[in-house]
Amino acid sequence: MKSIGLVDELQSAMQSIQGNGLDFILPLILVALTALIVILRGSGTALIFAMVPLILPLAVVAGISPIAISVPLGLSGNLFRAVSPVATVILIVAGTVKTDPIALVKRTSVPMIAGVVFMFILSMIFFL
């Protein structure tokens, strides 16, 4: 992400909106990015370990607590794993109950997305 310039773009965007009452934008962008990567790759843990070195610099530039970034990032990575059709747990459960992984993902997507939204709102209330 650093090599393609995404981190630099996020830092410059956060500097321009710092102090405008839009402190939730950076965590929201990172949760959306986490959702995309976890759904495509099936692993939320690997993404979190890759993002850990970037959390502090991004939080400093945005002027927010690193906890306000790390908690939603970690929790959304774990919750979105149940929405990924290539996640190991989905493939194992789908094979055990002899159903299509996509059908299983359709069933788990509504509660998991609702959980991410609820978690994000609570994280912003408690940590910003």
pLDDT digits (tens, 9 = 90+) for 18-71: 767 778 888 998 899 889 889 988 887 877 888 888 888 888 888 889 999 999
Q: Who contacts 20 (Cβ-Cβ below 8 Å, separation ≥6)?
A: none
pLDDT at 19: 66
Which amino acid appears at position 112 of this protein? Answer: M
pLDDT at 1: 63
Buried b (16+ CB within 10 A) or exposed e, 79-115: bbbbbbbebeebeeebeeeeeebeebbeebeeebeeb
Question: Per residue in 97-109, pLDDT tens?
Answer: 999 999 999 999 9
Cα–Cα distance, 105 to 85 (Å, whole number): 6
Mean pLDDT of 62-91: 91
Q: Whole-prediction pTM value?
A: 0.84
Per domain, the residue ranges of the chain are 23-127
Quick one: pLDDT band at residue 91, thresholds 50, 70, 90? very high
CA-based nearest residue to 30, from 21, 108, 50, 20: 50
